[in-house]
Amino acid sequence: MRLATVLTPEGPRLHVRTRTGYVDAASATGDQRLCDVSAFLEGDGAFTELLTAAAAHAGREVATTEFGPAVPAPNRILCLGVNYAEHAAETQRARTTWPEVFVRGADTVAAPYGELVKPALSANFDYEGELGVVIGRGGRYIRAQDALSAVAGYVVVMDGTAREWQRAATQWTAGKNFDRTLPIGPEIVTADEVDVSDLELTTRLNGEVMQSARTSQMIFDVPRTIEFLSSFTTLRPGDVIATGTPGGVGFARRPPVWLQPGDVIEVTVEGVGRIENQVVAEDGDGSTAWPWNPPEVQVAGL
């Protein structure tokens, strides 16, 4: 199945993709709990049969502007850094033997075809195309061989990063948590529909390919990532895992390439989908008078 959150006059509502478009899940099934994707994620398969039947209904076309984030209010967004060897090399880091993990909050989420907000306090705003994993059943101490049973589905994500804020300290939280810098979508593609072990991932900036890799090039694949994360935290329905970005990011280029208002950034993951966002300037005080202004990024490295 492919599940989308569609913005309607009644608010964001869960929709199921059909052969002819999308159908409102709650209306098609008669179960009002399915007005929101959280019911599906928390249901541990309880709603699968209903939603499968709904996918056979006649649907309507949905404009790109109607798509909300596929996971509108994630419980947490757990992210891997430097999870592709090529990206590690361009950051002048050795191939990692221990996962680099940081956390994003729900306010960073953005729509898959909506505006990507360039922080007023960042001149070094960068792109990172990634595969996202949406947790369903979840759990603790999940072995890699059992990990896919914890997964509800997959999404495309674009991890917009304020590099100077990321590099100003040893922790990455600030540079990764500006509001509306993480588009998620366009759909949750359920785990039974796609094998993510070897998919093509492409990032384009204004039509030019900037990143091109395969998910098989991850240092830690999805099962190992889930095994690692569940070592120290209970994975819960609605958690999203961003699995890391391949080489080709903006700060590692000569000269660096930073996202600017008006730019269009597009991320495609084979079999999962494509998101496309136009960069806009944040309304806010980004002047040098603001008391917190880290130095701009000058060279490659994190």
* pTM, entire model: 0.95
Is residue 44 located within the same domain as residue 81? no
Is residue 84 located within the same domain as residue 233? yes
- Asked which of 42-46, 183-187, 225-229 is least confident by mean pLDDT, the reply is 42-46
* pLDDT computed for residue 288 by the predictor: 75
Is residue 195 located within the same domain as residue 267? yes
Question: CA-to-CA distance for 136 and 33, rounded, in angstroms?
Answer: 16
Q: What's the CATH number where 227 sits?
A: 3.90.850.10
* pLDDT computed for residue 299 by the predictor: 55
Question: CA-to-CA distance for 126 and 181, rounded, in angstroms?
Answer: 10
Instruction: Note whether residue 229 is domain-resident.
Output: yes
Give the structural domain span for 204: 77-281
Question: CA-to-CA distance for 250 and 166, rounded, in angstroms?
Answer: 14
Instruction: Note whether residue 71 is domain-resident.
Output: no
Q: How many CB atoms lie under 10 A from the CB of residue 28?
A: 21
Is residue 57 located within the same domain as residue 108? no
Write phi, then psi, for 28 (nearest 5 degrees).
Answer: -70, -30
Number of domains in the chain: 2
Instruction: Note whether residue 69 is domain-resident.
Output: no
Is residue 11 located within the same domain as residue 118? no
Inter-residue contact 272 to 238 (CB < 8 Å): no
Question: CA-to-CA distance for 159 and 127, rounded, in angstroms?
Answer: 6
pLDDT single digits (tens) 119-167 = 999 999 999 999 999 999 999 999 999 999 999 999 999 999 999 999 9
User: How many residues are present in the chain?
Assistant: 302
Is residue 160 located within the same domain as residue 242? yes
Is residue 57 located within the same domain as residue 20? yes
